[in-house]
Amino acid sequence: MLKKLMKITLISMIGGSILFAGSFNAQAEKDRKAFVKYFEKKFENPVKNQAEYFPYVTKAELQNKYISPISFQGFQDGPLSWYKPSKEQFAEINEFAPYEIPLDDGIELFNKPFANGKSYSNCFPDQSIKQNFPYYDTKRDDIVTIGMAVNECRVKNGEKPLKYGKGDLAKVVAYIAFKSRGQKINITIPSENAAKAYEAGKKLFYKQRGYLAISCNECHVQSAGKRIRAEALSPALGGTTHMPVYRVKWGGLGTLQRRLAGCVKDTGSEKPKMQSKPLKELAYFLTYMSNGMKLNGPDTRK
């Protein structure tokens, strides 16, 4: 299945003219279905699949510490979806969830009037919208993230934009995410340029880079379900459902782009800037891969 997944990727990188025939999301749907099938097969029976997917994990650990099978929706929990110790640890942590205080701050910020007397609710009368972000705006010919939408609302009402990635912006996005819980991710590819943006994000996901010469794929597809020391590697499938996330490492909330930028830096590459074109394209691709999954953010992770 992994070979099939990589073959699809290679064909789409080389045969660019083929990508946009017919429906703009035809290739993306092939990718997504192969993506889902790979993860479902991998975690259907870890003991049975030991030789193919988990050759360096003992049979005893696969039997006692791995959760299986994992349903499609189950992948929304990241490393907690497959590793019992992590699931149990964070169940205890979330009894007094660290994200609740910044979430309360986000509720207050959302409802606080701007200087002109309006508030975020004038821009977002229905807050259950996060399932549609990031989306490709054909009029501006660009990917629009939820963070961009929040800051454009502020500027429209005479306020200064907030810093991307964390702080007050992450708190406001956390409230929107909370109001969107249970909604299914619904990312569309409405144009040829949107399909190109998707392909650029996919290429970045599979590209080896940095002085470590590794890719997102190697950690979060090939090595998903394995551990680096005490760290359980999360599957890329469902990786965008629980954002923004409170990370113990950060001591606060962070958006999807903050998390992705950190991952890119971990490959030994230069850390991309918030809202940069490559970072938005990567988020667009990854979120499309989780189409149909229910949002469950904000959440807590290491």
Does residue 72 lie in a domain region?
yes
**Residue 103 within a domain:** no
Among 123, 216, 219, 263, the one annotated catalytic = 263
Confidence category of residue 43, pLDDT binned at 50, 70, 90: very high
| Rounded Cα gap, residues 39 and 236, in angstroms | 9
pLDDT of residue 231: 83
CATH number of the domain that residue 15 is part of:
1.10.760.10
d(CA 114, CA 76): 35
**Is 111 within the bounds of a domain?**
no
**pLDDT tops 70 at residue 191:** yes
27 domain residue, yes or no: yes
| Catalytic-residue membership of 153 | no
Q: Does residue 178 lie within any of the structural domains? A: no
Residue at 127 is within a domain: no
Residue at 83 is within a domain: yes
Distance (Å, rounded) from C-alpha 186 to C-alpha 131? Answer: 6
What H or E segment, with its residue span, contains residue 287?
Answer: helix 277-289
The pLDDT score that the predictor gives to residue 10 is 37
Q: Report whether pLDDT(243) > 70.
A: yes
pLDDT band at 229 (very low <50, low <70, confident <90, very high): confident
Which residue segment(s) compose the domain that 231 sits in?
2-97+185-301
Please state the domain count of the chain: 1
In a domain, 143, yes or no: no
